[in-house]
Each structure stands twice: as C-alpha cells, then as structure tokens.
Structure 1
Amino acid sequence: MQIFINDKSFECPAGATLPEVLEANGIKTDNIAIAVDFSVIPRPEWNHTVLQDGSKIIIIKAVQGG
C-alpha cells in the first residue's frame, strides 16, 4: 500500500503500524511529534496505530533555539 510521509510517497505492507513504517524508513523517533491524517498521535498509541492505504503522516521535529 502507499502512504505519504511529509508529502513523500512510500510503499509499505498492508497492516503496517506506525513504528514499523518509521523504522523501515530510517526515521529516528527522538524529539518528534507525529500526526496521521491530520490527527496528532500520542506516543503511547504509536504501537497501536495501523496505517491505511493513502495515510498521510506528518512528522514534526522539535529543535532548540533562541
């Protein structure tokens, strides 16, 4: 199935969870927030979030600055 991470298209197996997709694409999970189809997913729910064909994932990375 096809999903989108920050508007970039990726293929993944049907029934893939959010952590599986992140790991398969080498995305580090430190200091990030994730929204799937415009809903923020709390970190404790990541393992239970099964992606659907066409899911749109937005990854927001926190950075320090002044």
Structure 2
Amino acid sequence: MEVFVNNELYAVQQGTTIAALLQFIQISSHKGIAVAVNNQVVPKNSWSDQLVSDADNITIIRATQGG
C-alpha cells in the first residue's frame, strides 16, 4: 500500500503503525516530533498502536528552536 508522508509517496506493508513508519523513514528520535494523519493529530502514546491505511496523508512536524 502507499501513503504520503510530507507530500512524498512511500510504499509500506499492510499493518504498518505510525511508530514503524517513523523508523522506516529513519526518524529515530521522537523528541520534538508531532504526527498528523489526514489532518488529525495523533497522540504520541498512540503511535505504536495506530495503523496507517492506504492513501493516508501523513504530516510529520519537527519542532525547532531559534529566534
């Protein structure tokens, strides 16, 4: 199945969770990361349980600091 992550197309296996997707796209640190699936923010404590579906639009935002 295919999902869009920050407007890039990725092929993932059925049954992929958000946590597994982050690992697949090589985001190892979850600190300062927010994830939304189809414009709905997913709480970090749900990432290991929530499955992605075919054609999901996933947005990953990384917090930065500066001034």
Once the two structures are TM-superposed, the CA of residue 62 in structure 1 deviates from its matched residue by 0.5
Aligned pairs for 1:5-44 within 5 A = 5-28=5-28, 29-44=30-45
Q: Could you tell me how far 1:24 is from its partner in structure 2?
A: 1.1
4+ aligned runs moved over 4 Å, structure 1 = none
Q: Number of matched residues?
A: 66
Give 1:9 shift.
0.1
Normalising by structure 1, we get a TM-score of: 0.93
Partners of 1:53 and 1:15 lie apart in 2 by 10
In structure 2, the partner of 1:56 is: 57
Structure 2, gaps ≥5 residues long: none
Report which of the two has the higher share of helix: 1
TM-score (norm 2): 0.92
Alpha-carbon RMSD? 0.9
Q: In the aligned structure 2, how far is the partner of 1:13 from the partner of 1:32?
A: 23
1:15: how far off?
A: 1.2
Percent identity for Structure 1 against Structure 2: 33
